[in-house]
Structure 1
Amino acid sequence: MPPTEAHPGTDAPPDTGTATEPEPGSGPVNGSENEPGAAPGADPGADDTLDLHLSDELVALLAAGEYSGSSDGDLLDDLAAWQPAATAAGSFRLVPVRIDRDLPLIARWMNDPAVAAFWELEGPQSVTADHIRAQLDGDGRSVPCLGVLDGTPMSYFEIYRADLDPLARHYPARPHDTGIHLLIGGVTDRGRGIGTTLLRAVADLVLDHRPHCTRVLAEPDLRNTPSVAAFLGAGFRLSAEVDLPDKRAALMVRDRALRHVL
């Protein structure tokens, strides 16, 4: 089962209905043929960002680069080349994951009980490797990244095309909607507002480098008050409550039109 949801870190008090430790980030959702609007014949055991079959017409547009927004068909506008962001916590950048280099660190984070309770990727490194490799071997609609703060890897992000994700079955998706999943790796970086700072920075990076994207989304568990508070502090708004296969989620949205207001 893929990760469900974890808390990016905020100074808000913990939600008594969830884990007592700060839960680290926001995770993908399952797809099933029993879901409303699910594609006929979808595999109930398939999961997360790779479980949305594209129409022949959309595949043709992707191949031509017309839907991606970039001339080479890159679905996330060359994320690897995005420039660092200056934040109150330091210089931050997203670095696409390389399994040979980054797997031990990410697997260690996934085995932290506070992380494992929500991402459900604890166990040997092969469990985390399979999760990451599924994205790296895919069509580029989801890119796993290390969040590097002042040269130190301290968080894990998945930047994904929400409009091409199973999440799009559960809300009125727009072309180029971009989603964020996040976990904060180090215990000392949790619970003091760094997650809020990074969420704002990453949303700004998406909007700065993806000109066709009009909004950035996330879907934390509605019961996870600290997580929702972190997104609100980062300039997201609560757009709707959404019933996903594994949780009732708060659909959080950061709009390009409101980015300098919220």
Structure 2
Amino acid sequence: MLPTDASADTGTVPAAAPGTDTRPCGDTDHEDTLDLRLPDAFLESCARNEAPAATRPAAGDDLLDRVAAWGPAVTAAGVFHLVPVRIERDLPLVSRWMNDPAVAAFWQLDGAPGVTEAHLRTQLDGDGRSVPCVGVLKGTPMSYWEIYRADLDPLARHYPARPHDTGIHLLLGDAADRGRGLGSLLLRAVADLVLDRRPACARVVAEPDLRNTPSLAAFLNAGFRFSAEVDLPAKRAALMVRDRRLRHLL
């Protein structure tokens, strides 16, 4: 997927210091990610409701186990919610964030609102493997997130992906929220939400740019471990992993 650099405090995962590219693959946008199709046979069997019972999702589920229903995370900074994006409500705010030079350097979605809208619609009109969200802290929208199936993303071509690996991209909208540890706090909270709400997921992954030292520090402080360096289409990245079995140790 796209960004994954959390601004060190992750102002963005993008997270680079001031802005943070949280685009996973260092891609320039999610189009590449979302062009990756699920096997036709799988899609057809789901449409006929004929998938094996062990793999068929329950009615109402999606590829990410209904992010909208994950509920709140209680953090030291206050109650935090991931709220799936609605274009008509959230586009002005997300587009403004994308036009912050510190964010634009990594996400490359600056410009007219239509640029951000196209990026969001690619996900919203897709099959549910990537869910764009606004992060709401104590009732205030303050960050943008992408929760995605890393095992179904082009990122999976660049590392030994496992079924249900789940990726995170993040950007903190306001400069005042960056550089004070908030990114690490929220990354940990969201990674915990993923592991709590997605029982089939054993790992949460991210791929910040290796040059983005604030982002790397944010992930490490959030309980992720450095796994490998990977060459992605638009950057050399650090593969960061938060393992379910180590979550209480890191």
In structure 2, the CA distance between the partners of 1:116 and 1:68, relative to structure 1 (3 Å rule), is farther
Count of residue pairs brought into register by the alignment = 241
CA contact (8 A) 2:84 2:134 kept: yes
Matches within 5 A, 1:201-212: 201-212=189-200
1:23 counterpart residue number: 19
What amino acid sits opposite 1:179 in the alignment?
G
Rounded to whole Å, the distance in 2 between the matches of 1:197 and 1:92 is 11
What corresponds to 2:132 in structure 1?
A: 144
Query: Compared with structure 1, are the counterparts of its residues 177 and 20 closer, same or farther at alpha carbon in structure 2 (3 Å cutoff)?
Result: closer
**Which of 63, 69, 76 is the equivalent residue of 1:88?**
76
- Residues 228-243 of structure 1: matches in 2 within 5 Å? 228-243=216-231
Cα distance, 1:237 vs structure 2: 0.4
1:36 is aligned to none
TM-score (norm 1): 0.85
Give the TM-score normalised by the residue count of structure 2.
0.89
Corresponding position of 2:168? 180
Equivalent in the alignment of 1:38? none
Rounded to whole Å, the distance in 2 between the matches of 1:102 and 1:91 is 20
Are 2:105 and 1:106 aligned? no
CA shift, 1:24, in A, is 2.8
Structure 2 unpaired stretches of 5+: none
Q: What is the match of residue 10 of structure 1?
A: 9
Q: Deviation digits for residues 151-180 of structure 1, max 9, x if unmatched?
A: 000000000000000000111111110000
Equivalent-residue separation in structure 2 for 1:186 and 1:30 (angstroms)? 22
Question: Per the alignment, do residues 90 and 30 of structure 1 end up closer, same or farther by CA in structure 2, a change over 3 Å counting?
Answer: closer
Equivalent residue in structure 1 for 2:111, among 120, 123, 126: 123
CA RMSD of superposed structures (Å): 2.3
Q: Distance in 2 between matches of 1:187 and 1:74?
A: 34
The Cα offsets for residues 64-109 of structure 1, whole Å up to 9 and x where unpaired, read as 4654754545101011011101101111010000000000000000
**Mapped pair 1:59 → 2:43:** yes
CA–CA separation in structure 1 for the residues paired with 2:152 and 2:124: 16
Gaps of 5+ in 1: 12-18, 32-44
Query: Is this contact kept in 2: 1:25–1:184, CA < 8 A?
Result: no
- Higher mean displacement: 54-63 or 228-237: 54-63
Question: How many angstroms does 1:9 deviate by?
Answer: 2.9
In structure 1, distance between residues paired with 2:179 and 2:134: 19
Give the direction of change, closer, same or farther, for the CA distance of 1:188–1:168 in structure 2 (3 Å limit).
Answer: same
Residue deviations 1:88-147 (CA, integer Å, cap 9, x gap): 111101000000000000000000000111100001100000000110000000000000
Q: What letter matches 2:156 in structure 1?
A: A
Which structure ranks higher in relative contact order (CA pairs < 8 Å, sequence separation ≥ 6)? Answer: 2
C-alpha deviation, 1:20, in angstroms: 9.0
Identity %: 67
In structure 2, the residue matched to 1:159 is 147
Quick one: distance in 2 between partners of 1:117 and 1:168? 24
SS in 2 for 1:121: coil
Give distance in 1, aligned partners of 2:31 and 2:6.
Answer: 21
